[in-house]
Every structure is written in structure tokens, then in C-alpha cells.
Amino acid sequence: LSGLVMLFLIYRRGRQGQYSAENHWGPEAIVKYWHFVDVVWVFFYPALYLVS
């Protein structure tokens, strides 16, 4: 849920023109967080399956 909230905030700020080619740290950080969570789920689900 927190990732979706962050993506919405980045989308809203982007629509307001707050990001440029030089100033894009926020979206880049959110994308890295989003993909980190993806990788965590890839390992978490199989671990749950193996434990149960």
C-alpha cells in the first residue's frame, strides 16, 4: 500500500512539472523501492510455500 501511495505522490508532482531531466531523484528512488519489494516477494512466497 505504501508503494502505491508513493507512486501516486510522484505522479501528482510530475503532473505539476516538479521533475526534469536533471531533477528526478524522487521518481528514481520510488522505482528502486518498488523493484526491491518485487524481489522480496519473489523470495517470500516460495519460502512460505516451503515452510507450510
Q: Hey, where are the domains in the chain? A: 2-51
Identify the pLDDT of residue 7. Answer: 85
Q: Could you report the per-residue pLDDT of 1-50, keeping only the tens digit for each?
A: 787 898 899 999 999 998 888 888 888 998 898 899 999 999 999 999 99
pTM (whole model) above 0.75: no
Q: Which residue has the cell 526534469?
A: 20
